[in-house]
Amino acid sequence: MSDQQLQNLINMINQIGANNLHHDDEHDAAEMVAGHLKKFWARSMKAQLISYADSDGAQLSPVSRLAVERLKQKR
């Protein structure tokens, strides 16, 4: 996956996270984001995002970071 594709994934998860912040707290929002990723994202997209979060993850919002951690648990 190219750097541009990874950047697009980062932007998408951060946007999904921002759109779910209306939930009571970050943990609820992260659970919603993780559920969305599990349901709608391709396995390769999730793997790339998990790899990025494990190696750096600096561009992920706090909600996105929590969502990726939850996603790893749901595998």
Q: What is the C-alpha separation between 63 and 35, in angstroms, rounded? A: 13
Domain-wise residue ranges, the chain? 3-74
Query: Hunting for tokens 């790339």 — which residue is that?
Result: 48
Handedness of CA 60, 54, 25, 27 (dihedral sign): positive
Low-confidence ranges of the chain (pLDDT < 50): none
Global pTM reads: 0.91
Q: How many CA atoms lie within 13 A of 38 on its CB side?
A: 15
